[in-house]
Amino acid sequence: MKKVFIFLLILFFLFLPKISSEYWTFIAIEVLIMGFFAMSFNLLMGYSGLLSFGHAGFFGVGAYTTAILLQHGFNSLFLILLIAIIVSLICSVVIGYLSVRQDEIYFAMITLGFGMMLYTIAHNWTDFTGGSDGLPLMNEPILNLFGKKISLISPENLYFFTFVIVFIGILILWKIINSPFGLILKGMRENKNRLNFSGGNISSIRLFAFTISGTLSGVAGFLFCLFSSMATPDFLHWSFSAKPVIMSILGGAWNFYGPMVGAAIFFALEQFIKMYTDNWMIFLGILLIPITILFPKGVLGTIYDYAKKRYNSKS
């Protein structure tokens, strides 16, 4: 039942650009990237119980690495992706190492601080990053796939490229949360004290989770740079870090696909409200209040719980 559902969902995503307009294809790309960013972030918030407010930093590092490399004549997208992964991995390890000893609000604040340091670099180091204007992609990103050159300017091609990368990323996350390490993370969320007194080294477990989460956020940044054809300091701003928080809570932080569903709802609401007014954030805020009251575990999380209860009472 569940497998059939996932299969249909994948089928839907595969044929989406064939059946929708370019406009909606672009929105679908944005949902996939931001949903994947939120899912990576949620490995920390939902699974490990750590609220990082600096994840936009890693997202931005991925985006800027891509933009800078493309500007300097690198043309293999796979090589660029690899370098983006390495750079965001290094940033995650360093920032993670300095943050994981803190708890709760202190952890949130220290990650916010590091995120803003990265923002300041992107904003003020004008020669290298283009300053507040950002760094536009001068060269057309071309994917070299077995000798075939595919331009990612075409929304359909970009969509499939994004879909494949996001799919692999989600597969990695799925493997991790179903591994022994995944259960250890949930244990840390539930009771880090007990975990410590069962033989778990809290700082080390957190550092691993932080590094995985930050690196995958960098991959999301890489995709987002191709999507928006530029990298700007906004990607690193702390308010950008709030997006995955909202998406995770909206969809359900305790559900694997919750953040992706949250991202879809987020952009659907944006599109819907923007038909009437440009100040869509105000109305989004107003709508978020009843949604969080009606769906305390997020939209997907609450529906899933309800379905499980119905299923259990039947059998």
Partner 1 sequence: MTTQKKDTILKVDNIHHSYGKFKVLNGISLEVKRGGITALIGPNGAGKTTFYNVISGKFPPTRGKIYFNNIDITGFPPHKIVKLKLLRSFQITNIFPELTVEENILIPLILKRGKCYSFFKDLKKYKEFYIEAENIMNNLGLIEFKNRTVSELAYGDKRLVEIGITFASDPEMILLDEPTAGMNPAETERTVNLIKDLSEKSNVTFFITEHDMNVVFSVSEYIFVLHQGSLLAQGTPEEIKNNQEVKEAYLGGSV
Q: How many residues would you count in the chain?
A: 315
d(CA 209, CA 203): 10
Identify whether the C-beta of residue 47 lies closer than 8 Å to the C-beta of residue 177: yes
Interaction of residue 208 with partner 1, rule CB under 8 A: yes
CB of 315 to partner 1, least distance (A): 13
Interaction of residue 179 with partner 1, rule CB under 8 A: yes
d(CA 51, CA 209): 12
Interaction of residue 199 with partner 1, rule CB under 8 A: yes
Contact range with partner 1 by CB under 8 A, out of 1-9, 61-69, 182-190, 290-298: 182-190
Binding mask 210-229 for partner 1 (x = CB under 8 A): --x-----------------
CB of 29 to partner 1, least distance (A): 28
Structure tokens that stand for 299 in this block: 């939209």
Contact range with partner 1 by CB under 8 A, out of 142-150, 190-198, 235-243, 258-266: 190-198
Contact range with partner 1 by CB under 8 A, out of 114-122, 173-181, 264-272, 290-298: 173-181
Interaction of residue 184 with partner 1, rule CB under 8 A: yes
Residues 63, 122, 152, 195: which binds partner 1 (CB under 8 A)?
Answer: 195
Interaction of residue 176 with partner 1, rule CB under 8 A: yes
Residues 10, 79, 101, 194: which binds partner 1 (CB under 8 A)?
Answer: 194
* Residue nearer to partner 1 on the CB measure, 184 or 284: 184
Contact range with partner 1 by CB under 8 A, out of 37-45, 72-80, 204-212, 258-266: 204-212
Structure tokens that stand for 48 in this block: 């490990």
- What are the DSSP calls for 190-226, one per residue? H-HHHHHTTT--HHHHHHHHHHHHHHHHHHHHHHHHH
Interaction of residue 44 with partner 1, rule CB under 8 A: no
Residue (of 246, 243, 259, 245) closest to 300 by Cα position = 259
Structure tokens that stand for 177 in this block: 């949360």
Structure tokens that stand for 240 in this block: 């950008």
Interaction of residue 175 with partner 1, rule CB under 8 A: yes
* Residue nearer to partner 1 on the CB measure, 95 or 176: 176
d(CA 25, CA 227): 11
* Residue nearer to partner 1 on the CB measure, 14 or 307: 307
d(CA 224, CA 152): 12
What is the DSSP-derived secondary structure letter of residue 132?
Answer: G
Interaction of residue 113 with partner 1, rule CB under 8 A: no
**Tokens 């499939």, residue?**
160
- For residue 243, how far is the Cα from the chain centroid? 9
Interaction of residue 196 with partner 1, rule CB under 8 A: yes
d(CA 64, CA 279): 29
Contacts with partner 1 by CB under 8 A lie at 175-176, 178-184, 186-187, 190-191, 193-202, 205, 208, 212
